[in-house]
Amino acid sequence: MTGTTLVWLRNDLRIADNPALSAALKHGMARAVHIEATDGRLRRRGAASRWWLHHSLNRLAEELAQLGVALDTVEGEAQTELFKAIAAHGSDAVYWNRRYGRAEREIDAAIKARLKREGIATESFAANVLVEPFEMATGTGKPYSVYTPFWNALKKQDIAKPLPRPRHGETIRPQRVDSDYREADWGRKLGRHWQIGEAAARERLDRFLDELVLDYPGDRDIPRKAATSGLSPHLAFGEISPRQVWHAAQAMAQHAPAKASAIDKFLSELGWRDFNYNQLYHRDDIATVPMVAKYGGLKWRHADAAFEAWQRGRTGIPIIDAGMREMWETGVMHNRVRMLTASLLAKNLLIDWRKGEQWFWDTLVDADAANNPGNWQWVAGSGLDASPYFRIFNPVTQGERFDPAGDYVRRWVPEVAGLPDKLVHQPWEAPDAAALDYPAPIVDLKVSRERALEAFKAL
């Protein structure tokens, strides 16, 4: 008989396909700990993520209790808190699933070294990406810098089959998650839009594959439609693993060949997540350093009033304001509108993309350390295989193309709801524009487009 194995949970808040948890239960008695780490080198979670985390941990504690596993939740420096938990429970082994940021890897490596010195068994597992970044390299041994060859190589890899839910142990009473978290109005508002936790994630995946995926390629760009999977926050917290998504989707493609090409399109978007994790793994700090060095020379404008108008959804450009308000209200924003709002900030407004990235980090429930900065760098042109600098979205044209009847804009920007379709994306053209309770646009799209082309071309 062995002692207690401690499972150190991070962004892997699930029971099924959790290799560290499964291995610990095989080993004998298990306990779990989640440490909200305050290490200075780690990026602090944003406000929307803290809300989601609180509820996700509560759901997980109930699930773990059914397996006889207690979950402790603490806040503090990672190494200190982990060794406190080891001492408190007399653990003789510590397991975790790997993470890929540089600071996280260094912290984990230091802890692993200390565990070895102290004679405590330790093991880490692959769990949170399709293929681990160090398994992916081009023919010349370098990290991929272009998505398409990365994706083609990824598809050829043997993607691990997800592990089943581990067998039940003795059910225990769930721990109350111990934190000073207090539900604020904002959290109650977000709560109207989400079911949190592993079971909800699985239901969402199944419903998407059953009912939505066939129309995904055609409808995914239409923000009015709920045509996307909606899995992003569940993936960000590891309530579902990308391997589970991958294999469920492949099984559906086998079972329903008519859906195969749509499923391939969907999975290629999941592939971007792995591509972003590859960037995170190989670079110092994806959230602050341009992946392509020459973009570091761009002279960003300091325009506080414009930035605040952007944050609050008061730019006077309906589809931009709709997106920013959708994010504030629900904790997510439709993907196409993310591209539009980011392009407006980084290009038309020439405001540093890192400011926008930080706002998204704070307000998105799906804020992800690789995807959020990776996608911002993509839009800003400084990322790997990024959008070319001269691609500057026109939010009027984009609105007319992807929200032709104006439903999306009318939902989030009631000030323009009464305008006819032709004007709803450019209310400033309305004869009685001044009478609307809606700001005039904070930038001239044509002039600011020219300015951005100049600034980027100069690099």
Residues contributing to the annotated binding site for FAD: 216, 228-232, 266, 366-368
Q: Which of 425, 435, 454, 450 is nearest to 315 (CA)?
A: 425
Per-residue DSSP letter, 256? -
Q: Does 445 bind DNA (CB under 7 A)?
A: yes
Residue 2 CB, nearest distance to DNA (Å)?
47
Q: For residue 398, state whether it binds DNA (rule: CB under 7 A).
A: yes
Instruction: Compute the half-sphere exposure of residue 368: CA atoms within 13 Å on the CB side of its CA.
Output: 27
In the DSSP assignment, the letter for residue 454 is H
353 is catalytic: yes
Task: Tell me: does residue 451 bind DNA (CB under 7 A).
Answer: no
For 238, list phi and psi in degrees, rounded to 5.
70, 25
Q: Do 45 and 10 meet the contact criterion of CB atoms below 8 Å apart?
A: no
Eight-class DSSP state of 119 = T
Among 174, 329, 394, 411, binds DNA (CB under 7 A): 394
Query: Which of 77, 151, 335, 428 is the catalytic position?
Result: 335
239 or 274: whose CB is closer to DNA? 274
Tell me which of 51, 96, 328, 353 is the catalytic residue: 353
Q: Is 397 in the site for DNA (CB under 7 A)?
A: yes
Please state the closest distance from residue 344 (CB atom) to DNA, in A: 11
Chain positions 271 to 290 lying near DNA, rule: CB under 7 A, are 272
Check if 412 is active-site.
no
Q: Per-residue x/- marks for DNA, 154-173, CB under 7 A?
A: --------------------
Q: How many Cα atoms sit within 13 Å of 218 on the Cβ side?
A: 4
Among residues 449, 451, 455, 459, which is the contact residue for DNA, using CB under 7 A?
449
Query: Which of 24, 240, 262, 392 touches DNA by CB under 7 A?
Result: 392
| Among 172, 251, 236, CA closest to 201 | 236
* Residues making up the chain, counted from first to last: 459
d(CA 93, CA 86): 8
Determine, following the binding rule CB under 7 A, whether residue 312 of this chain makes contact with DNA: no
> Could you say which residues in the range 369-388 bind DNA, by CB under 7 A?
388
Helices (H), 332-417: 335-343, 353-363, 371-380, 395-402, 407-412
Q: Which residues, 6 or more positions from 108, have their beta carbon under 8 angstroms from its beta carbon?
A: 96, 98, 99, 124
> Is residue 457 near DNA by the rule CB under 7 A?
yes
69 vs 161: CA distance, rounded Å: 24
Can residue 409 be called a binding residue for DNA (CB under 7 A)? Answer: no
335 is catalytic: yes
Candidates 203, 269, 308, 450; catalytic one: 269
Residues forming contacts to DNA in the complex (CB under 7 A) are 147, 269, 272, 336, 339, 388, 390-394, 397-398, 401, 445-446, 449, 453, 457
The catalytic residues are 269, 272, 300, 335, 353, 376
